[in-house]
Structure 1
């Protein structure tokens, strides 16, 4: 039986008021960059007064501040050891600094990439136990995460898993008990989210099932195909399952099948999944220590190579055990036909418009008013906002049918 997570000694519950009125450079020492999150870069920082290591997300204010404020508001309302803690925020020049809990082992997807390995069933069960506890906490408070995937499950060095990155999270209210905007990451999105027929907390359960497959196989189902094609396939195809079922226990296969029920009304809740045999038999988080230590050693070796001039990061996904293969891990965020893929891979679909935008891959435009409304034009145009210069432009057309 999995042990309960105990609260670590955490001297800093919230930043002191006088800290929030000072310049952040006076309060923190930036120790290094951790990576890119939704909307901005994430840094490791030292809180000078307490000596505590924290994470700071620096968000350029030219991004959608409403979304950022929503993220902060949701994080502020959460008080769970299974959810990344929020400590406070600052405005600094053109950036908003969001100060959060630091999880020293990084995300589950980081660890898979670094080790060039998928996870064992034992490791997956232990991580899913904590992730389910986090979802149970959120859902009991009428909050939906909406972007559950291995990249948004962080581990600290002790092996505690925590849900992170509420950049696209939403809150259910009495007046809006269902949402009909497509927000999330395409490969992980529930069918009802893609179909825009309204959804609630169990959309996160589908995403958790896809995340289980991702941890077992190195990437989500349809991870090799273009995200726009995946969006057509997820609602129409049967629920995905394991490529090699013989490798996995009947309990694990049953757990995933319970998550991946296409009809949301028949899908189980987080609380119900906590009682599933696969989760009840999860081992204590010590089983994650070797995986975490291996990843830390590889990261240290890579940092040493980068210091010596080789900055390749090997950002790959795992295919069939431990063979690495590139795949498009784009995040989609849709609010009402505009599909917009940001630096962190977030895509917005606006059902009232017809424009699809993908940053690095160019701009995809569906012209629904043309004589042939199945034509999609692609043109590589603007580079990321903070990069200098522009990409050379080119264009090509694709038919919608070719995506299906």
Structure 2
């Protein structure tokens, strides 16, 4: 639920970028599903699939120790499947991070938040623009160079590294966050791999976190064939039969035996002026309903 007025101050196209990407990715594996969009005089609404497992950020925060290789392998496989589908539709996510990876009630991932996505980037086409979250950006993004879909794999590599070690790959010390040039670190510093890290995972991460986009594109071309995935049955993963080895605690809610209707009233004295007709026209094509809703 988002306020229309907030987008009038920025770029109304942002809200359409999110809805258009989700429409394009309907029924895609490991991607949050959009059922429909609708609007009122003041608000835009997204009707999304309900995911009770929270997000990956909370899962990491709640974990006592780094994730084991079995969990990391399945998580990585689901990410590969999801990103392959996204990229096949000409979309680059550009903001892969723990907060944008949601979990269903079982623990399967769902990639979310396509508000910064680049669209219609097919084949050898490139795009540009410093979009995303700096800590998870590939070097070519914040250097404002032309780039392709492999920036999402770089971000995925950072997420996996954090899950495997509970540390950020490019800053040697947590205190460096405040005085170290993060951009320089991402461009020039080698990831600080731990001695305990699984060898196959380490080799996989080196390919994802390759700083050269040209080399990275070659290295990620056949990710399903990586040694890390030798124990993965891709058909089982894609069908949802491969269940995550960890338990996801759903949020605690009271049983709902009755429907509660909330009525929201506005004080006319405090209410801002209504949006003008020409402003409402900016949102005229927003509403839609999927086939199954």
TM-score tier, shorter chain, comes to: 0.7 to 0.9
Question: Map of 1:119-138 to 2, 5 A cutoff?
Answer: 119-138=67-86
Question: Map of 1:215-234 to 2, 5 A cutoff?
Answer: 215-221=163-169, 222=171, 224=174, 225-226=177-178, 229-234=181-186
Asked whether the equivalents of residues 150 and 215 of structure 1 are also in contact (C-alpha less than 8 Å), the reply is: no
Please state whether the residue corresponding to 1:171 is helix, strand or coil.
coil
Asked whether the equivalents of residues 241 and 257 of structure 1 are also in contact (C-alpha less than 8 Å), the reply is: no
Residue 59 in structure 1 maps to residue 7 in structure 2: no
TM-score by length of 1: 0.54
Residue 253 in structure 1 maps to residue 202 in structure 2: yes
Greater length-normalized contact order (CA 8 Å, ≥ 6 residues apart):
2
Distance 1:77-1:186 versus aligned 2 partners, 3 A rule: same
CA RMSD of aligned residues (A): 2.6
Asked whether the equivalents of residues 25 and 89 of structure 2 are also in contact (C-alpha less than 8 Å), the reply is: no
Distance 1:99-1:269 versus aligned 2 partners, 3 A rule: farther
Asked whether the equivalents of residues 90 and 97 of structure 1 are also in contact (C-alpha less than 8 Å), the reply is: yes
Match of 1:337 in 2: none
Query: Which segment is superposed worse, 150-159 or 206-215?
Result: 150-159
CA distance in 1, matches of 2:44, 2:179: 30
Please state whether the residue corresponding to 2:46 is helix, strand or coil.
strand
CA distance in 2, matches of 1:227, 1:134: 36
CA distance in 2, matches of 1:176, 1:279: 27
Residue 281 in structure 1 maps to residue 231 in structure 2: yes
Please state whether the residue corresponding to 1:97 is helix, strand or coil.
strand
Q: Which has the higher strand share?
A: 1
Which one of 178, 189, 192 corresponds to residue 238 of structure 1?
189
Asked whether the equivalents of residues 172 and 178 of structure 1 are also in contact (C-alpha less than 8 Å), the reply is: no
Q: What are structure 2's unaligned runs of at least 5 residues? A: 255-293
Number of aligned residue pairs: give it.
237
Per-residue displacement from partner, 1:249-307 (whole Å, max 9, x unpaired)? 110000000111111111146551121111232487434343x14xx4xx54xx89xxx
Match of 2:30 in 1: 82
Q: What are structure 1's unaligned runs of at least 5 residues? A: 1-57, 305-404
Asked whether the equivalents of residues 188 and 220 of structure 1 are also in contact (C-alpha less than 8 Å), the reply is: no
Shift of 1:157: 1.4
Match of 1:262 in 2: 211
Asked whether the equivalents of residues 136 and 271 of structure 1 are also in contact (C-alpha less than 8 Å), the reply is: no
Q: Which has the higher helix share?
A: 2
